[in-house]
Structure 1
Amino acid sequence: MHRKLIWGIIAIVFVSGLTYLAVNGSKTLATTDNGKITQADFYDEVKQSSAGRTVFAQMVVNKVLDKKYGKQVTDSAVDTQYKTLKAQYGDEKFKEYLSQNGMSVKQYKQSLRDKQVMQAAVKANYTITSDQLSQAYENYVPDTTISLITAKSEDDAQAAIDELDSGSSWDDVYNQYSQSNSSVSGTGQMAPFDSTNSSVDSEIRKAAFNQDDGAYSSTPVKGSNGTYYVVRTDKMADKPAQSKIEQKLKDKITNDFISDSNNQDKMKKIIGKLLNKANVNVKDSDLKTALSGYYTAGVSK
């Protein structure tokens, strides 16, 4: 997820810069004894690069998909995902993440929105088989309630586990070792989640789903964001009938399809067909081939 997310954010920053350069091209960026470099010079160089063409292609894709599927993505859905992801990092680590990737909160949220629009587009154009649904149901884990100690370090997480092993109560250990985490309440309890919930860290889900009610992780759980946790499984609900969760299963299948790097050609085929329907016409000769990968994949054979 992070690789795609970071590229999306880079695209936002890059595209904003290119738009500005195109409009304000006469401004001088640098001077030397051998002449100056203007914004127009820089723009011309960038748009002819592989990175520039890739970003341009992403711009067009976002424009086309947003027109058709953007209304399906609400601000509240983006805010919910943003808050969940931020909480799993913790305030300080989240600030570091934004800083390291040179992005603002607004740019981060925009990348989340673009991804949700992409998901909506794929859901509308991806055919799910009955075998896929049956397999997804077999792998489905129902709503699970957990409690979480968000440790400052691996050593603190291990110390918390040692305290629990020695007979100390969860509440006492939580109060001693856990950092603030806005996604939990009381002494670390999270709202129930199931195996289709991609907002909860995959490592937390894995730990929660593979231990009995009342059990806690025997070793520190390292989240995908580098934070260490102690995960206690409080309660797992009974598995509902497939018919009651079919939409959740379809969403999970689609999201897994999008996230799997092996499906890039299939993704391009879906997007290519949507671009063809949108009558995209690239005017700039330097960017004429930027979308060729999508158009080729989108042609019915």
Structure 2
Amino acid sequence: MKGNNILNIKKIGLVAVTGFAAVTLAACGQNGANSDIVTMKGDTIRVSDLYKEAKSYPATGTATLLQNMTFNKIFEKEFGKKVSEKAVNQEFDTQKASYGSNFAAALQQAGYTEASYKTSIRSQLLLKEVVTSKIKFTDAEYKAAFETYHPTVDAYVLSETTEDAAKKLVEDAKNDAAAFDKTAKEKNAEMKFDSANAKIPTEVKTAAFKLKDGEVSAEPIAVSNTQTGTKSFYVVKMVKNADKGTDWKTYKKELKAIITTNKQNDATFVNGIIANYLKDYNVKVKPKEFSNIFSSYEAAVTSSSSSKSK
């Protein structure tokens, strides 16, 4: 199975809750290329900097560009040493391999060059470092993650493009288990995965974990592609299921990874961290046209505070 869409790795500013209109470069260029747009402790973003960034990311809105530039300056100072060139290249190579010959077209469609996409990957890895550094791995967090966690199972997972073809697989498995197993092995369909595995569709995992050893899914499992709308139909045969028991500490490493992913995907949590950095670095926006570009982060913090007070 292929990896996620290449566009899932974006520049940091795109994780924000949006709601402001894009502002043209001309609006801030009236006072010359050296006029300040954003000031912060130890650094400044000028009109000329914004023009340069816009050339690298022509498809990105001006407000988002300014967000990205601001966050990158702050997070490079705080965590730049923790994100290596090797890590960036590894993620880049993973995405490139998943797209094969379509990689160049995907980059072009998204408005990236290889160089600008690597910069985008670095921004995202920096953000992950920022978020991870603020996570508190309490027993309560571990126990909550353990409630929905299923440990690694071993199963045959086969997919078909039509429901009829998948139904035939189900019948084949029932009529001749040995032949089905042989076919599954020839297709390299044997997989080991737990509930945190992002490569296996959620619908497939949910159905698989309910199966006993040697049992086959009674009906094809339909999975819709959110990008194309097309459906695939999966058939699962459980080779070896697993009982997680009652002690969450047995899976502490796996649960820590789940907690980290959940926090990285929590917009309120992420935006709250960013808002605190904006405050610590005394970030100020000079042109009135851009005065609201960080309001979504402030709103996320206000919302979080209100919820806690209730």
TM-score, reference length from structure 2: 0.60
Separation in 2 of the partners of 1:158 and 1:98?
38
The alignment status of 1:231 with 2:236, answered yes or no, reads yes
* Structure 1 partner of 2:308: none
Matching of residues 1-301 of structure 1 within 5 Å: 5=8, 8=11, 51-73=61-83, 75=86, 79=90, 83=94, 114-167=123-176, 169-171=179-181, 173-174=183-184, 187-190=188-191, 192-217=192-217, 218-222=219-223, 224=225, 226=230, 228=232, 229-239=234-244, 241-260=247-266, 264-282=267-285, 286-295=289-298
AA partner of residue 150 (structure 2): V
> Contact 2:161–2:231 (CA<8 Å) still a contact in 1?
yes
Query: By how many angstroms is 1:121 displaced?
Result: 1.8
Separation in 1 of the partners of 2:167 and 2:139?
44
> Contact 1:160–1:173 (CA<8 Å) still a contact in 2?
no
Query: By how many angstroms is 1:205 displaced?
Result: 2.3
**Deviates most, 52-61 or 97-106:** 97-106
Separation in 1 of the partners of 2:172 and 2:80?
49
Q: State the secondary structure of the residue aligned to 2:158.
A: strand
**Higher RCO, Cα 8 Å, sep 6+:** 2
Separation in 2 of the partners of 1:128 and 1:144?
26
Separation in 2 of the partners of 1:281 and 1:54?
16
Listed as ranges, the gaps of 5+ residues in structure 2 are 15-24, 30-50, 306-310
- Closer, same or farther: CA 2–272 of 1 in aligned 2, 3 Å: farther
Query: By how many angstroms is 1:53 displaced?
Result: 1.0
Separation in 1 of the partners of 2:88 and 2:212?
32
Separation in 1 of the partners of 2:285 and 2:96?
37
Separation in 2 of the partners of 1:193 and 1:81?
24
Query: By how many angstroms is 1:272 displaced?
Result: 1.0
State the identity %: 25
Listed as ranges, the gaps of 5+ residues in structure 1 are 12-17, 23-39, 176-184
> Contact 2:13–2:67 (CA<8 Å) still a contact in 1?
no
> Contact 2:208–2:238 (CA<8 Å) still a contact in 1?
yes
Query: By how many angstroms is 1:211 displaced?
Result: 1.7
- Closer, same or farther: CA 86–290 of 1 in aligned 2, 3 Å: same
* Structure 1 partner of 2:37: none
> Contact 2:9–2:121 (CA<8 Å) still a contact in 1?
no
* Structure 1 partner of 2:19: none
Q: CA RMSD in A?
A: 4.7
Query: By how many angstroms is 1:141 displaced?
Result: 0.9
AA partner of residue 206 (structure 2): K
Q: State the secondary structure of the residue aligned to 1:145.
A: strand
Separation in 2 of the partners of 1:204 and 1:142?
15
Separation in 1 of the partners of 2:89 and 2:162?
30
Query: By how many angstroms is 1:117 displaced?
Result: 3.5
Separation in 1 of the partners of 2:92 and 2:201?
12
> Contact 1:144–1:194 (CA<8 Å) still a contact in 2?
yes
> Contact 1:82–1:109 (CA<8 Å) still a contact in 2?
no
- Closer, same or farther: CA 80–61 of 1 in aligned 2, 3 Å: closer
Separation in 2 of the partners of 1:107 and 1:150?
35
- Closer, same or farther: CA 112–237 of 1 in aligned 2, 3 Å: farther
